[in-house]
């Protein structure tokens, strides 16, 4: 179980000066870079990552790490440069969130997930803020482009689903803290909006939850538990939004008792 070692301290005046320095540092380092497949300046992502961390009441060093989290990986920044401008804690946070680009996509992601399972709460917060920012943008672009969107990535949609589902598992401890629970569940919902299809058989009163990574479940009205599913779905069934599936589940829960989501 993670220890809640986030100090929940709002930035003071001197912290504000450090944050301003970090914003300028990140803007300079990411100058000319754009988000994948768009013309949007890349700096919007580190800024959003910092904003998400701030909503989780992160300490100042963690906010700075959010701003700088891609500088070692995607710019010419060195650890010594971050140390000179900020401090050792910021360097260590950024370094823990930096991938070895000499490795394959699969190797990098498997290593990241393994390390994340044992990481501190602060590192997990940094990773979650980064991934929620990514998922927010992925959802908007996916809604606009459909399956064409996945051509932007080095790994196909199925592998992206595997990766984000494993991240959700590795970050599960964050659901128990008041400062991180809301962001954790936003990540879960974004994952479902992008990678999960909900289908409703109105005649049999069954909701199907079909995950791109292959983990499929069904819930039938009158039952309180989701069950694994690998069968056929009746042709009259309809695809429904996640919000509608959850509304049906909530209504059934009120009538039949405790629910256990198939997540």
Q: Assess whether pLDDT exceeds 80 at residue 67.
A: yes
Q: Which of the following is catalytic: 48, 70, 74, 230? A: 74
Three-class SS of residue 218?
A: strand
Cβ-contact 199, 207 below 8 angstroms: yes
Q: Where are the beta strands (DSSP E) in the chain?
A: 196-201, 206-211, 216-220, 227-228, 238-240
Tally of domains in the chain: 2
- Mean pLDDT, range 226-246, rounded to an integer: 96
pLDDT for the residue numbered 10 = 47
The closest of 136, 204, 61, 162 to 128, measured between CA atoms, is 136
Residue ending a domain, among 41, 63, 98, is 98
- Mean pLDDT, range 198-208, rounded to an integer: 98
pLDDT for the residue numbered 4 = 52
Residue ending a domain, among 44, 73, 98, is 98
pLDDT for the residue numbered 2 = 57
254 — pLDDT class (breaks 50, 70, 90) = confident
Q: How far apart are CA 71 and CA 113, in angstroms?
A: 21
Does residue 31 belong to any structural domain of this protein? yes
Q: Where do we find the tokens 């569940």?
A: 185
Active-site annotation holds for 4: no
Q: What is the mean pLDDT of the chain?
A: 92
Does residue 60 belong to any structural domain of this protein? yes
Question: How far is residue 6 from each of residues 122, 125, 176, 236, measured CA to CA in Å?
Answer: 7, 10, 14, 51
Specify which residues 101 forms β-bridges with.
Answer: none
Does residue 32 belong to any structural domain of this protein? yes
pTM of the model: 0.89
Does residue 26 belong to any structural domain of this protein? yes
pLDDT for the residue numbered 247 = 96
Does residue 180 belong to any structural domain of this protein? no
Structural domain range at position 86: 7-98
Q: How far apart are CA 125 and CA 108, in angstroms?
A: 19
Q: What is the pLDDT of residues 81-130, one digit of tens each?
A: 999 999 999 999 999 988 888 899 999 999 999 999 999 999 999 999 99
Active-site annotation holds for 73: yes
Q: Assess whether pLDDT exceeds 50 at residue 13.
A: no
pLDDT for the residue numbered 38 = 87
Q: How far apart are CA 135 and CA 184, in angstroms?
A: 12
5 — pLDDT class (breaks 50, 70, 90) = low
Does residue 154 belong to any structural domain of this protein? no
Residue ending a domain, among 98, 129, 163, is 98
Does residue 165 belong to any structural domain of this protein? no
Q: Which of the following is catalytic: 15, 17, 59, 73? A: 73
Does residue 170 belong to any structural domain of this protein? no
């Amino acid at each position: 179980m993670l220890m809640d070692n986030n100090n929940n301290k709002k930035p003071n005046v001197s912290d504000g000066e450090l944050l301003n320095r970090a914003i300028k540092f990140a803007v300079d380092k990411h100058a000319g870079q754009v988000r994948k497949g768009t013309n949007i300046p890349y700096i919007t992502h580190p800024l959003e990552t910092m904003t998400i961390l701030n909503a989780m009441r992160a300490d100042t060093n963690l906010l700075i790490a959010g701003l700088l989290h891609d500088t070692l990986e995607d710019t010419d920044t060195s650890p010594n440069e971050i140390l000179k401008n900020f401090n050792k804690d910021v360097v260590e946070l950024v370094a823990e969130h930096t991938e070895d680009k000499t490795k394959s996509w699969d190797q990098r992601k498997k290593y990241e997930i393994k390390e994340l399972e044992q990481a501190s709460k602060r590192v997990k917060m940094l990773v979650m803020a980064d991934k929620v920012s990514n998922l927010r943008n992925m959802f908007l672009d996916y809604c606009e482009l459909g399956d064409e969107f996945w051509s932007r990535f080095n790994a196909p949609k199925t592998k992206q689903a595997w990766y984000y589902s494993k991240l959700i598992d590795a970050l599960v401890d964050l659901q128990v803290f008041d400062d991180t629970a809301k962001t954790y569940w936003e990540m879960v919902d974004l994952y479902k909006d992008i990678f999960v299809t909900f289908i409703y058989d109105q005649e049999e009163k069954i909701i199907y939850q079909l995950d791109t990574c292959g983990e499929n479940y069904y819930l039938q009205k009158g039952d309180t538990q989701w069950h694994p599913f690998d069968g056929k779905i009746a042709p009259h069934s309809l695809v429904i939004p996640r919000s509608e599936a959850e509304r049906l589940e909530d209504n059934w829960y009120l009538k039949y008792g405790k629910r256990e989501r198939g997540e």
